[in-house]
């Protein structure tokens, strides 16, 4: 089937034809070709079973596609790599095999037989996703095929598990519905490694039984240096405050989301108001703001609150406090500090990956008593007049433009019309990963078996209950729900800042309109800078 549009910021390669195994081999062949050819404009790539995606800035889509179409197209076995081979030590003992006895009873074997079958197979890494470094392994013996558990429960990092026809290894402590057979001490993900994921699509894996595991060495490594005690003291962190910047693209093949600010436009505005570069680290606040004490003089700017001093830089002397526990005008607010926040760079970014626990300040949301530093707290922020920048603002109603999704044809014409004419609302169930939409249900036309595919920020997934999920900044790299549409990149910031309950309706557009909207979006940012320059 060739290359198809995955929204306006990615192209998706689907081999088409043949059987599932043949499509998988061709997808691996294309991935290998991408690894061997450097194409300007590509910011990341990710493989998932029978497809491969490349990511890019929306302005570069046409040029990237032209280069992609010149790559050799794998046919049959051509271009397929044998992959690297890895041996993973696994302890199947009672302490590490939470579900082994249950699995044995379910399939009518004893535990030793299950273990022998599990480690007697060579597996192939079909994809890295779900969380950074998590390998989806094909080749599980059919005798061990079991549906996943009815509900997820906490799973420890290093757990070796099975579900459906696949095996996998959990790099982090996380919820999971797979059946755990054992545990490994091998770090599947390590931010100090390049690439950080131990495995990649196409690699071959064998599990090797061991009698015991090293003490306190199980799982992953996301350790970075302890943040220095800085001059910005967190007295009250607010409901959910993290350090963010414009994200860490380029690591999707290792399962790492680009992440970054949920509303990159508002983040840019806040940074520019204090003279920072757009990519400087700042605070992102959801549902409310923090209380800070400054132990040295500095200048800050807050965007996203209803306050008299919004949209202009504010000077603070040593010992003064800033209280942002007030009504927010947007879902996410941003507080920029002159010089930018001084936290370690992890995989090229200072942003917090909340789900995986790395980056930002110790890989987590801020707490009372934390201390942050900035690179140049005095800096040279713009000397603003009494005027201010009062943009952007959250809208009370949204018209959201979208491109057809990869599985749009799976929905009947009536369902697609419902999607376009219905009024939806931003639901209360939302976070940095995504938002549930309240409104008309969207049901598939007939039974369909979904093979997980890459997703992008703005993808609109439809789970079995028919309630759409809009993916946001910290979404996973691949997903298993049908995608009815992809919000165009120019409209994603407005969606991110919309408050719960905001009504919206969807309007289908073509790629040329999406690109024109992105050019207009870039012009707006240029005009913003001109306006700030005129106010100084």
Q: Return the CATH number at 159.
A: 2.40.100.10
pLDDT score at 383: 56
Residue 150 shares a structural domain with residue 259: no
Q: What is each CA distance from 476 to 53, 353, 510, in whole angstroms?
A: 14, 11, 25
pLDDT score at 505: 95
pLDDT score at 454: 95
Residue 62 shares a structural domain with residue 89: no
Residue 64 shares a structural domain with residue 89: no
pLDDT score at 79: 43
Closest to 27 (Cα-Cα) out of 109, 158, 116, 125: 125
pTM over 0.85? The answer is yes
Number of compact structural domains in the chain: 4
How many residues make up the chain in this entry?
Answer: 536
Is residue 503, in this structure, part of any structural domain at all? yes
Tokens 């044998």 found at: 82
pLDDT score at 73: 80
Is residue 446, in this structure, part of any structural domain at all? yes
Return the CATH number at 43: 3.30.1360.40
Tokens 């379910």 found at: 106
Q: What is the pLDDT along the chain (536 residues), one digit of tens a residue?
A: 689 999 999 999 999 777 888 888 899 999 999 999 999 999 999 999 899 999 999 999 999 999 999 998 876 554 445 679 999 999 997 777 689 999 999 999 999 999 999 999 999 999 998 899 999 999 999 999 999 887 788 999 999 999 989 999 999 998 888 999 999 999 999 999 999 999 999 999 999 999 988 865 544 556 565 555 789 999 999 999 999 999 999 999 999 999 999 999 999 999 999 999 999 999 999 989 999 999 999 999 999 998 887 788 999 999 999 999 998 999 999 999 999 999 999 999 999 999 899 999 999 999 999 999 999 866 555 555 556 787 788 889 999 999 999 999 999 999 999 999 999 999 988 899 999 999 999 998 887 778 889 999 999 999 989 999 999 999 999 998 999 999 999 999 999 999 999 999 999 999 999 999 999 999 999 988 887 777 66
Residue 89 shares a structural domain with residue 133: yes
pLDDT score at 446: 80
pLDDT score at 387: 60
Assigned token pair, 33: 């070709």
**How many beta carbons lie within 10 A of that of residue 220, not counting itself?**
26
Residue 55 shares a structural domain with residue 94: no
For residue 106, what is the enclosing H or E element? helix 100-107
Closest to 186 (Cα-Cα) out of 117, 87, 85, 116: 87
Closest to 116 (Cα-Cα) out of 213, 212, 207: 207
Residue 476 shares a structural domain with residue 509: yes
Q: Which of 68, 103, 119 is the last residue of a domain?
A: 68
- Backbone φ and ψ for 5, nearest 5 degrees, come out as -75, 125
pLDDT score at 226: 52
Closest to 196 (Cα-Cα) out of 121, 272, 254: 254
Q: Which of 25, 40, 68 is the last residue of a domain?
A: 68
pLDDT score at 78: 45
**How many beta carbons lie within 10 A of that of residue 203, not counting itself?**
20
Is residue 322, in this structure, part of any structural domain at all? yes
Give the Cα separation of 7 and 29 in Å (integer).
23
Is residue 309, in this structure, part of any structural domain at all? yes
Q: Which domain holds residue 202?
A: 85-209
Is residue 80, in this structure, part of any structural domain at all? no
Residue 35 shares a structural domain with residue 94: no
Mapped onto helix, strand or coil, the DSSP state of residue 400 is strand
Helix ranges restricted to H, 155-296: 264-273
Is residue 99, in this structure, part of any structural domain at all? yes
Give the Cα separation of 110 and 107 in Å (integer).
9
Is residue 377, in this structure, part of any structural domain at all? no
Radius of gyration of the chain (CA): 24
Contact 477, 256 (CB under 8 A): yes
515 alpha carbon, distance to own chain's centre: 23
Q: Which of 194, 209, 224 is the last residue of a domain?
A: 209
pLDDT score at 432: 93
pLDDT score at 386: 59
Residue 127 shares a structural domain with residue 174: yes
**How many beta carbons lie within 10 A of that of residue 526, not counting itself?**
9
Own/partner pairs, 380-386, CB within 8 angstroms, 24+ separation: 380/275, 381/273, 381/274, 381/275, 381/299, 381/301, 381/313, 381/338, 382/273, 382/274, 382/275, 382/313, 382/532, 382/533, 382/535, 382/536, 383/536, 384/273, 384/312, 384/313, 384/535, 384/536, 385/535
Is residue 202, in this structure, part of any structural domain at all? yes
Residue 123 shares a structural domain with residue 169: yes
Residue 18 shares a structural domain with residue 149: no
Residue 282 shares a structural domain with residue 201: no
Residue 247 shares a structural domain with residue 367: yes
3-state helix, strand and coil shares in percent for the chain, rounded to the nearest 5: 20, 30, 50
pLDDT score at 222: 62
């Amino acid at each position: 089937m060739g290359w198809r549009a995955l929204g306006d910021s990615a192209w998706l390669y689907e081999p088409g034809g043949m059987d599932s195994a043949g499509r998988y081999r061709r997808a691996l062949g294309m991935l290998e070709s991408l690894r061997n050819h450097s194409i300007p404009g590509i910011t990341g790539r990710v493989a998932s079973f029978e497809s491969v995606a490349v990511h890019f800035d929306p302005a570069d889509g046409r040029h990237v596609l032209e280069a992609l179409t010149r790559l050799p197209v794998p046919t049959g076995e051509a271009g397929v790599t044998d992959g690297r081979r890895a041996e993973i030590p696994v302890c199947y003992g009672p302490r590490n095999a939470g579900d082994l006895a249950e699995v044995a009873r379910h399939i009518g074997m004893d535990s030793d037989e299950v273990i022998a079958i599990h480690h007697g197979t060579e597996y192939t890494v079909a994809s890295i996703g779900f969380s950074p470094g998590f390998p989806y392994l094909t080749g599980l013996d059919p005798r061990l095929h079991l549906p996943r558990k009815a509900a997820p429960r906490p799973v420890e990092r290093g757990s070796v598990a099975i579900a459906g026809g696949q095996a996998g290894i959990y790099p982090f402590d996380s919820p999971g519905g797979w059946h755990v057979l054992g545990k490994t001490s091998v770090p599947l993900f390590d931010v100090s490694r390049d690439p950080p994921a131990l495995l990649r699509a196409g690699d071959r894996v064998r599990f090797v039984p061991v009698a015991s595991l090293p003490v306190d060495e199980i799982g992953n490594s996301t350790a970075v240096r302890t943040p220095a005690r800085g001059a910005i003291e967190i007295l009250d962190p607010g409901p959910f405050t993290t350090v963010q910047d414009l994200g860490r693209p380029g690591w999707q093949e290792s399962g790492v989301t680009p992440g970054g600010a949920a509303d990159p436009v508002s983040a840019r505005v806040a940074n520019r108001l204090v003279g920072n570069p757009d990519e400087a680290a700042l605070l992102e606040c959801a549902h409310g703001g923090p209380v800070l004490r400054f132990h040295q003089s500095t200048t800050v700017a807050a965007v996203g609150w209803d306050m008299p001093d919004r949209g202009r830089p504010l000077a603070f002397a040593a010992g003064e406090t800033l209280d942002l526990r007030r009504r927010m005008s947007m879902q996410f607010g941003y507080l920029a500090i002159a010089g930018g926040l001084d936290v370690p760079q992890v995989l090229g970014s200072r942003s917090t990956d909340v789900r995986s626990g790395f980056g930002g300040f110790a890989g987590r949301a801020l707490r009372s008593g934390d201390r942050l530093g900035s690179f140049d707290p005095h800096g040279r922020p713009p000397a603003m007049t009494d005027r201010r920048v009062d943009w952007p603002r959250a809208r009370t109603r949204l018209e959201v433009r979208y491109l057809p999704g990869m599985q749009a044809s799976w929905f009947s014409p009536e369902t697609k019309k419902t999607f376009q004419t219905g009024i939806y609302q931003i639901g209360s169930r939302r976070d940095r990963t995504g938002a549930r939409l309240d409104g008309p249900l969207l049901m598939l036309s007939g039974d369909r078996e979904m093979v997980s595919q890459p997703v992008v920020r703005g993808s609109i997934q439809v789970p079995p209950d028919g309630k759409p999920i809009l993916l946001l900044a910290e979404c996973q790299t691949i997903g298993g729900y049908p995608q009815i549409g992809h919000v165009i990149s120019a409209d994603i910031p407005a969606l991110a800042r919309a408050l719960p309950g905001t009504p919206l309706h969807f309007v289908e557009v073509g790629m040329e309109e999406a690109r024109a909207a992105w050019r207009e979006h870039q012009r707006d940012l240029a005009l913003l800078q001109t306006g700030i320059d005129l106010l100084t």
